[in-house]
A and B are shown apart, each in its own frame.
Chain A
Amino acid sequence: MVPVLLILIPLLTGVALFAIRQEATAKSIALFSTLVSLAVMLAGMSVWNDAAHLSFNQPWIGALNSRFHFELDGMSQLLCLLTTFAFPLIIYSTWNNTYADGNRFFGLMLLSQAGLLGVFMAMDAMLFYFFWELALIPLYFLCSRWGGEKRIQVTIKFFIYTFIGSLFMLIGLILLYFKSGGSFAWADYVKLTLSAREEMTIFILLVVAFAVKMPLFPFHTWQPDTYEQSPTPVTMILSAIMAKMGVFGLLRWLAPVVPAATYQWGDNFATLAVVGMLYASFVAIKQDDLKRLVAWSSIAHIGLMILALFAPSYSGIQGIMIQMFNHGINILGMWIVVNVIEQQFGTRKISELGGLAQKAPVLTILMLIVALANIAMPLTNAFIGEFMMFNGIWGSTATKFGMIYAVAGIITIILSAVYTLRMVQNVFYGPTNERTANATDIRLNVQIALAILVVGIVLIGIYPKPILSMTSEISQQILDRMNLK
């Protein structure tokens, strides 16, 4: 029942919002709807935390043996929690942004929420594919309608990139369907034994879709442009949640389904991930646009998760799980700050800003904590995740180069300190200029939103056990399937 509610609430509200003309009303309804989703999700994790409430299984297309099968296992719970937690914050923290046709803007936002939640809960490959695309279409319209100057070219590139990826995945899923004797159920796929050649073909077909979505170097070229051109609330969705779709896809539909091929290709993809991390970090150092800086840093952070998956171990997989959540809330914090700055000063250029700390102390303190989390300082949530991943990569029995990967990865942490702190220094410290001389501090809603994130960052940094115990079972399952410890 919980999965059905989680999908229907945003879906129906989203459709209904198209009929409501006043922007303010639409915004309030959207916020309310996302809060209800969050409440349902929390209820699902506490009072309704049993199989009867957390799964839903009904026939859908008889001819294809496809079913409406949703389930909230540990990993799904984690990501659905992230989604339902992020959406109200996104809407609340950007409360003062205005949009032409605001009702449609929020309607499409909610439709994409429905799509994302569906992706994280689907246990049927056809259903998964459906929601995978459903999450994309509203985002396409959001970026193209409300984005920056070059939005039309940029978003069509983004769309075609991800669409090609999805189609490859579709072929992979069709192959799996025939190999499993006509089933779309994930539960059947993780029991399959395929020949090495078949696994290889399916692996390549599936991995493209996930690599584009995350994005993995060299499939990343759409990402900085799209993040830059999208309206900031949409960028928040893209980076905080949609990038997780790719990682989630690897963990749910790739590694356990074709474990041998994942092992076989592990070193190649791990190397790509390392190269991508270093490359993205160096590029991030050179950026002057705040949005592009955060975009590139996101590529580097996601790269580490990919690395930990292709050099797997229990600690590494658990690290990915918790880091998916952490990265979601950390980058959300970064984007909220970027949005505040853009709304107030009309620019995102680091070189045109400076001295904000004197004028906006609250923003600076909150931002500093988020920035420290971005560079994985101890006591912040990212430290836990990244430490576990490095620990796992170093000790992975699946690869001979664990140590090299770990060392190369740690360099990117240093680089992330370089670009993050440089950004903090240039934007918040130093003398003010004519643009920032009359700056004011952030409004209450942004304060509250950032404060919630900061509390989350510190809490998880000190006591990560609830999240880790949530995903321990599924992590173990993935490792068992890969025959690794």
Chain B
Amino acid sequence: MNAIILSAILGVVLMFTGIFTTNKSTIRAVAVGGILLLLLANIAELRGVEFFDINTRGMLVFTKLGLLFNTIAFGATLLYFLLSARDVLEVGDNGADYFALIFFILCGVSIVSSFNTLLLLFLGIEIISIPLYILTGSDKRNLKSNEAALKYFLMGSFSTGIMLMGIVLMYGARGTFSIDPTLQIANAGRDVWYTSGLLLLFISMAFKVSAAPFHFWTPDVYDGAPTVFTSFMATIVKAAVFIAFCRLFEFSYSNSGYDWKLIVAVVIAATLLIGNITAIFQQSVKRMLAYSSIAQAGFMLFALFSTSSLSREGIILYSLGYSLATIGVFAVLIKMKDYTFEGFNGLARTQPVLAATTAIFLLSLAGIPMTIGFFAKYFMLASAVKTGTYLWLVILAIICAAISVYYYFRVIQAMYFKEGAGETVAISSVFRWLLILVAGLIILFGIFPNMILNYLYF
């Protein structure tokens, strides 16, 4: 509850900051201070200290998983602000508003990580989505940005409609919005409503996490949006929707009495194949990262496939590892003058720190041991193996993981083994140290994943 209220307040505070000052460093300081405050408030709640006592009548439930995820999301946002806040302010004239929108998104993130009724799920998803539409189109003079925003908005509203329809059907079948099975009224005659409702909900959520075959918006939107916002969209937002997806699945789907595993398995297989194979053919690193985010979503979907304690640990590690690595890669990408693979040629010579840290981020995304990306993938695969069936899906997943090595390593090859100038804009030494910090975290958690997982239980 701390996070939800505080993030909403902070959003308003930042809007007003924009009215009173246009000084960029002030705005940045307020934003960084705000996210720090939010992070601390959330950690306090994780430790059992609640600042606000509001009776939500069971509509919100604050579990360890949700709170830990909030901590990760806010921590990642903090790093994101530290690395890229300057670039956020470069996008347009309304710097403070962008930060305000990001805080509103974080409010939505903390709602979807703790919802207990479908109504609040809907609310959370919409609070996340609407600011995102604006951020996507924030580069007003850029045609691609406008196109992306419109596309995202149209497709997004369409999926919202589908989601609402699903929720309505489920309400009709069970007489309640609650996802808690004990509160639902079983009505055998209306099972088909419930099932179709769930299916519609599944489709709209799959759209939000860009799972195939509902992924078509992703490359265009990620490519068209200003790169700093792509970074935020592809990491924290995506992981948040996954947490919501997992919560929903744990209760509703196991409760519906059908074997949903096959549907999920097919979606996973399609997502992995489309994401990975299309990523191979990209010429722009930004677009490659868009497809790779689809591919990574395929791995995260394993959490839905095998709802168990292992997969819960997995989704936490995955959100953390994927967010850290992707934020890092995007932070470097923003500094590049040329977004194609050739633009990275020879970066190791001109900017050794950038190249080395980017290499670590990419190794983590590829899931090489010693990075947190490995344990993220490990937990996902292990949870799927544990279900005892669908070994083919696991095999497919590892083949796709091997494919992903090809396109992630193309960047490493360009940086280290090819000749070129590797031009970047001016880079401050603080930025370098922050990149080293992120890379250090990736390796630290990659050797001792316990440091995160323990918080799930203690």
Contact = CB atoms under 8 A, between A and B. Distances in A.
Contacts of B378: 170, 174
Given A61-B448, A170-B398, A171-B381, A130 B409 contact: no
Given A160-B406, A170-B398, A174-B382, A141 B448 contact: no
**Interface size bucket, B side?**
20 to 34
Contacts of B140: none
B402 A160 contact: yes
B398 A156 contact: no
Contacts of B401: 167
Contact of B398 (A61, A145, A164): A164
A177 interface: yes
A130 B386 CA distance: 21
Contacts of A174: 378, 381-382, 385
B409 A168 contact: no
Contacts of A171: 381, 385, 391, 394-395, 398
B413 A133 contact: no
Contacts, number: 68
Majority secondary structure of chain A interface residues (helix, strand, loop or mixed): helix
Interface string B182-218: 0000000000000000000000000000000000000
Contacts of B413: 144, 152, 156
Interface string A150-162: 0110001001100
Contact of A137 (B313, B363, B450): B363
A62 B406 contact: no
Interface in A403-425: none
Nearest to B418: A152
Query: Which has the most chain A C-beta neighbours within 10 Å: B363, B369, B418, B453?
Result: B369
B260 interface: no
21 contacts: A61-B448, A61-B449, A61-B450, A63-B450, A63-B453, A63-B454, A130-B370, A141-B416, A144-B416, A156-B406, A163-B405, A164-B398, A164-B399, A167-B399, A167-B401, A171-B391, A171-B394, A171-B395, A174-B385, A178-B386, A201-B391
B417 interface: yes
Nearest to A143: B417
B368 interface: yes
Contacts of B391: 171, 201
A206 to B, nearest CB: 13
Contacts of A133: 368-370
Interface residues of A, number: 27
A151 B369 contact: no
Given A62-B450, A144-B413, A167 B398 contact: yes
Interface in B412-447: 413, 416-418
A163 B402 CA distance: 6
6 residue pairs, one from A and one from B, having the closest CB atoms: A167-B398, A164-B402, A133-B369, A130-B369, A174-B385, A174-B382
A167 B369 CA distance: 11
B362 to A, nearest CB: 12
Contact of A134 (B370, B386, B402, B453): B370
A175 interface: yes
Query: Which has the most chain B C-beta neighbours within 10 Å: A63, A129, A174?
Result: A63
A168 B385 contact: no
A134 B398 contact: no
Given A164-B399, A167-B398, A171-B385, A144 B417 contact: yes
B449 A175 contact: no
A427 to B, nearest CB: 32
